[in-house]
Amino acid sequence: MPMQDDEAYMAMALAEARKAYDLGEVPIGAVLVDNESGAVVSAGHNLRETELDGTAHAEMEAIRKGCKKLGRWRLSGTTLYVTIEPCAMCAGALVNSRVDRLVYGSLDMKAGAVHSIFNIVNHKLLNHRMEVTDGIMADQCRQIMKDFFAMRRKQNKEKKGRNA
């Protein structure tokens, strides 16, 4: 797919991240796309606090909804767009689900499992590997995270101020 398509889908993933932001969740969003038709199969955003579920990351939501929609656990023929580099859990889920291609926006130096800490999606000993494109709309993907954490620090400071 040409770069401009990647940007269009990443913009949808960013819109998902915005939904997480509005819920008070760490703003990460994901979209699963059918490679042949270009149709969006499913989308998801981080829902850890809302669902009280440590596995409810954006990618997991998109993958699980995608499996349900397509009626199969093998997601061959799809691309997963996500605003931030996947963690080990999500990278492992992409391998387990046989996703063909991963496109992400910004690195996660603290937990990333594609380039930063591990490389789970392209490991010679695992039984599935995928194409990876990174850095698509990286600035916007990073900025919404920065805004979120700045807002949260400010809220925490205000709370402390009130309790002092």
Instruction: List the catalytic residues.
Output: 59
55/155 with CB nearer a copy of itself: 55
- Distance of CA 1 to CAs 78, 101, 129, 138, 153, Å? 12, 11, 18, 18, 39
- Count of residues near a copy of itself by CB under 8 A: 40
Which stretches of 33-137 are DSSP H helices? 48-51, 58-70, 88-96
Stretch that binds a copy of itself, among 77-85, 105-113, 131-139, 154-162 (CB under 8 A): 105-113
Q: Is 76 in the site for a copy of itself (CB under 8 A)?
A: no
CA contacts within 13 A on the Cβ side of 82: 27
Q: Is 152 in the site for a copy of itself (CB under 8 A)?
A: no
- Write out the binding residues for a copy of itself, residues 6-45 only, by CB under 8 A: none
Q: Is 73 in the site for a copy of itself (CB under 8 A)?
A: yes
Q: Given candidates 18, 19, 64, 142, which one binds a copy of itself under the rule CB under 8 A? A: 64
Q: Given candidates 123, 154, 157, 159, which one binds a copy of itself under the rule CB under 8 A? A: 123
Cα gap 129→65, rounded to integer Å: 22
Q: Who's near 111: CB < 8 A, 6+ residues apart?
A: 87, 88, 117
Cα gap 16→98, rounded to integer Å: 23
Least CB distance to a copy of itself at residue 4 (A): 30
Least CB distance to a copy of itself at residue 161 (A): 27
Q: Is 46 in the site for a copy of itself (CB under 8 A)?
A: no
Q: Is 98 in the site for a copy of itself (CB under 8 A)?
A: yes
Cα gap 151→12, rounded to integer Å: 23
Per the structure block, which two tokens stand in for 74?
Answer: 């093998």
Is there a contact between 142 and 106 (Cβ–Cβ < 8 Å)? yes
Query: Which stretches of the chain bind a copy of itself, using CB under 8 A?
Result: 48-49, 51-57, 60, 63-64, 67-68, 71-75, 87-93, 95-98, 110-111, 113, 117-118, 120, 123, 125-127
